[in-house]
Structure 1
Amino acid sequence: MTNETLEIDALKEKDGGGEAVQAVEELEPLGEKRIRLARQVGLVCMVTLAYVSLGAIITWPSPALSSLAENNATLVGTEVVFNSTQKDMTGSLAFVGTLLGAWLAGLAVNKLGRLISLQIIVVPYLVGWIVTALAPTTSVLLIGRFVVGLASGGTTIAGYAYVIELSDVNIRGMMATIPTMGVVLGSLYTVAFGYVLPWHYLSIVCALPPFLFLICTFFLPASPSFLVVRGRRQQAIAILTRLRGRYADVEAEVLELERRNAVNSGTKRSSWRDMLERDVLRRMGVVITLFVLMQLCGNFVLMSYTARILEATGASMDPDAITVIAGVLRVAGTLTAILVLDVIGRRYCLIISHAINACCLILLGAYVYLAEHADPTDDTYKNLTWVPTVCVTMSLFICDVGVHPVPFIVSSEYFPTSIRAQASSVCISTGTIATFLALQLYSVMQEALTQPGLYWFYGAVSVFGVVFSFVAVIETKGETVG
């Protein structure tokens, strides 16, 4: 037995808790650790291709509807004609599909596992895009949008659970934010190709990321946490050893997973019944509130209606330039989140993000109110048209640092493996409903509250978000998840 082995064993025996595990991991040579973590990042980047596919769904209506306005001929020789309601449905039907997909994934992920569920999700992605590309009528095209929405909902449940369970504790926040970057890049991917391709060929191009993801899934390991819960202990240990390295106390991690999920307890547990426990319900309440706050603070409205909002506030910018700027800022915000989530934590990212968003939107509301009530001869506000542009773009940037990614991350971190998929499906489904309502009620709320009043409402929600995050959100940075 080597001195190194004796030292490791001594550390394990000294303290069975987290401090001993951390001390053991500190023995790992830096070069070996970097290679191991790079391997984890590579695996997560493969999973992120599913989120690139998700991002493509979100922005497809924008270039596709512009293309249809110029040429509505289909690949089979018919014509597709949209009324105003059907145009709205190209976006909203995908979210209806997302809602159902999240619930179905909550069942499948717990029964079949994370990896098999991710492979199955590719089917509605490919079928949906092919149906959309070859659609002979408006109704068939809308069905295609609903089908890709099913895949979108499944991705959010299976993907985040898989990434959380794969990652080392000290880089879990960064790893869980990489999929968000995939959504942003997928959105830009669709917009970029949408400028040069007609809508049907654009749909075919959107089918490429899920096809590439399907190939990548055959190089991904099964979730070790799921294997432990299913009683496949030795297989889980083998995968964890490759992921955590030979210096980590893999046995302790497996024992903790078994304890938190009551593995080998001799009783058959119902994961849905487990969700009714008081602590689980409280955590679900926190996560659901974070999703609702994400939407009611204007985050998704600003993402979806950037051009409309800036035009309404008097900012004179080209819509194409606005789209590019918004996309670049979302990339920058997500990169910032990747860098800081494991440094300052999820809770403080939320607090800072909501606080700055509140300032931006309250200032935006004040500018619009003063500009609307200014004397017609007063040209002061004509020289300050940069104010709404700065407020909106800064809000888009800062929301991607905390408001947007953190609810998705904690929806997986807050719950043990045995109920993670079901609990996440409930939380994310609620978030999807909130997204749908926020977008559908935008014009109604603007009419009821006035334009500056709506921005003040969004700002007030973020003020509440600061207080709620400070009081109710449990920090999970560096904490193990069952």
Structure 2
Amino acid sequence: MVTETLLVKTEGLVFVFQLQSVHFVAGTFMSWTSPALPLLQANNSVPYITSEEGSWIGSLLNLGAFIGAIPAGILADHIGRRTTLCGLAVPFFVSWLMIAFCSSALELYVGRIVGGMAVGAVSVVAPMYISELADSKVRGALGTFFQLQITVGILFGYLVGMVGDHRVLAFILSVLPVVYFVSFIWMPESPVYLLSKDKLNEAKRSLQWFRGSKYDIEDEMVRMVESSGDSQKRKGGLGELLSNPVTRKAFTIALGLMTFQQLSGINAVIFYTGQIFDLAGSSIPSTTACIIIGVVQVIATYVSTLLVDRAGRRILLLISDSVMALCLGVLGAYFHLLNNNYDTSDVSWVPIVSVATFIVVFSLGFGPIPWIMLGELFPANVKGIASAVAAAFSWILSFAVTKAFQNMTSSLGEDITFWVFTGICVIGTIFVFFMVPETKGKDLNEIQEDLSGKPSNVELKMVESDDGLKTEKIIFHLPD
């Protein structure tokens, strides 16, 4: 169903695949630590990595993503979304080569930071590109398709980890950025970006390509030109973002969603999946458990593509965060029993079920939707700076959680650590309920009206004529 809808609105699945591939590459960086760290901590490993060095290797990707996210939105506003995304293949490739040829922990640190910078830039620019070219009816599904590719990349990283040592793993994964670059370089630029540079004819050709040669783009092009003109009348930048009440509220929502996404502990769970199962004494080998979790995450994210434009963003966020809180609470209770020497052999299945369910509901809601909404909430004149700051904020939080996870479990215990994350998910559910509007099927003007609290001055109303025919009547309301 979703695929058929996308085929109507684009030239086909070729486009979907091309842009997905960059998220696939990013996903492999996120899961690399799970198979690689045990290999690097083996006695015969060169280099040999200690547990403390391993925690830095796991978390420095997020620090690099923070660094890369900051200039990414600004760069995309200057040279274009497509050009920026193409250029990111270079740091992806260089990062894997540095990891493959490393002989010390320091070289691994630098390689992870370089790769992280590209991951952070992707998290900013790709949602901008998607939101500017997708029809509002399939925008959510298209955005979730790319989150799906991140999870496929994570699973691929788990599977490749079974092939050989960390060098073989890095060499195999270094091929992916090359494939991405070759497949993506011929893609058109965003029509919204082209309009911002007064390239009307190029914008028309771009939109026609994305919608298909037989699709009538005239009405959509008119709305896009009007929206672009309104945005260009207002000076962009951080000042406009914070001084305008509507964009300030959108920015608050974006930062809130990013905060509760990262402080849920998701990256700690993904990066240290194997260690969590080892600590829990699960009967399932950690490598097998990681692959099971990866498969579950892919399936759940695919289900999200079917729901996000039907159920809506807000309801999925509420279900996601509340069930995540329940899963983390149960996981904390299991570790509490384990740490107090209770016999947990009859419930050894609890960790994998809790973690799997946690990842399922995260993938349905709080995984893809904050990034989708980041591309939906802001007008073009502030979208670059807003996306860059929100994404950078997300990644620095991710770095803090990933780096602190092992220290938290050592000082507080696994039970208290997971209960802290439980409390954060509860607060996140309350935040969504009171602050986050529904953006499903709405264009930018409608979303901005929702944020401002002012009703639209245009209403479509069904009226019946004397001969019994029903027609739509456009009613204009004059402002008070």
TM range (shorter): 0.7 to 0.9
Q: Deviations over 1:279-333 (max 9, x none)?
A: 2121111111111111222322222222333343443321112111110111111
CA distance in 2, matches of 1:231, 1:263: 13
**1:36 and 1:243 in contact (8 A); partners too:** no
Secondary structure at 1:457's aligned position in 2?
helix
Q: What amino acid sits opposite 1:456 in the alignment?
A: W
Distance 1:273 1:259, change over 3 A: farther
The equivalent residue for 2:238 is 272
TM-score with structure 2 setting the length: 0.85
The equivalent residue for 1:54 is 26
Q: What amino acid sits opposite 1:452 in the alignment?
A: D
CA distance in 2, matches of 1:59, 1:246: 39
Distance 1:437 1:33, change over 3 A: closer
The equivalent residue for 2:112 is 145
Cα distance, 1:107 vs structure 2? 1.5
**1:44 and 1:163 in contact (8 A); partners too:** no
**Equivalent residues in 2 for 1:302-381 (5 A)?**
302-370=269-337, 381=344
Distance 1:35 1:317, change over 3 A: closer
Instruction: Confirm whether residue 230 of structure 1 aligns to residue 197 of structure 2.
Output: yes
**1:228 and 1:254 in contact (8 A); partners too:** no
**Equivalent residues in 2 for 1:196-275 (5 A)?**
196-244=163-211, 250-262=217-229, 269-275=235-241
After alignment, is 288-297 or 300-309 more displaced? 300-309
Task: Give ranges in structure 2 of 5+ residues lacking alignment.
Answer: 446-480
The equivalent residue for 1:125 is 92
Return the match for 2:372 from 400, 404, 409.
409
**Equivalent residues in 2 for 1:128-207 (5 A)?**
128-207=95-174
**1:41 and 1:175 in contact (8 A); partners too:** no
Task: Give ranges in structure 1 of 5+ residues lacking alignment.
Answer: 1-30, 74-78
**1:48 and 1:179 in contact (8 A); partners too:** yes
**2:260 and 2:424 in contact (8 A); partners too:** yes
Cα distance, 1:385 vs structure 2? 2.4
After alignment, is 80-89 or 414-423 more displaced? 80-89
Q: What amino acid sits opposite 2:61 in the alignment?
A: A
Distance 1:452 1:67, change over 3 A: closer
Secondary structure at 1:195's aligned position in 2?
coil
The equivalent residue for 2:402 is 439
**2:26 and 2:150 in contact (8 A); partners too:** yes
TM-score with structure 1 setting the length: 0.84
After alignment, is 461-470 or 98-107 more displaced? 461-470
Cα distance, 1:153 vs structure 2? 1.1
**2:58 and 2:403 in contact (8 A); partners too:** no
Distance 1:158 1:442, change over 3 A: same
Distance 1:311 1:70, change over 3 A: closer
The equivalent residue for 1:468 is 431
CA distance in 2, matches of 1:335, 1:213: 21
The equivalent residue for 1:398 is 361
Q: What amino acid sits opposite 1:360 in the alignment?
A: C
The equivalent residue for 1:422 is 385
After alignment, is 394-403 or 412-421 more displaced? 412-421
Distance 1:352 1:371, change over 3 A: same
Distance 1:329 1:444, change over 3 A: same
**1:115 and 1:222 in contact (8 A); partners too:** yes
Cα distance, 1:38 vs structure 2? 5.9
Cα distance, 1:334 vs structure 2? 0.5
CA distance in 2, matches of 1:253, 1:279: 24
The equivalent residue for 2:352 is 389
Instruction: Confirm whether residue 454 of structure 1 aligns to residue 409 of structure 2.
Output: no
Instruction: Confirm whether residue 289 of structure 1 aligns to residue 256 of structure 2.
Output: yes
**1:231 and 1:263 in contact (8 A); partners too:** no
Distance 1:32 1:289, change over 3 A: closer
**1:365 and 1:451 in contact (8 A); partners too:** yes
Q: What amino acid sits opposite 1:161 in the alignment?
A: M
Identity %, equivalent residues: 27
Cα distance, 1:264 vs structure 2? 9.2
The equivalent residue for 2:475 is none
Q: What amino acid sits opposite 1:431 in the alignment?
A: S
Q: Deviations over 1:444-481 (max 9, x none)?
A: 43455543333333222222222211211121110113
CA distance in 2, matches of 1:474, 1:32: 28
Q: What amino acid sits opposite 1:269 in the alignment?
A: K
**1:184 and 1:330 in contact (8 A); partners too:** yes
**1:229 and 1:263 in contact (8 A); partners too:** no
**1:295 and 1:301 in contact (8 A); partners too:** no
Q: What amino acid sits opposite 2:128 in the alignment?
A: A
**2:235 and 2:381 in contact (8 A); partners too:** no
CA distance in 2, matches of 1:222, 1:442: 40
Distance 1:34 1:436, change over 3 A: closer
Distance 1:200 1:415, change over 3 A: same
CA distance in 2, matches of 1:159, 1:280: 20
CA distance in 1, matches of 2:433, 2:379: 23
**1:258 and 1:264 in contact (8 A); partners too:** no
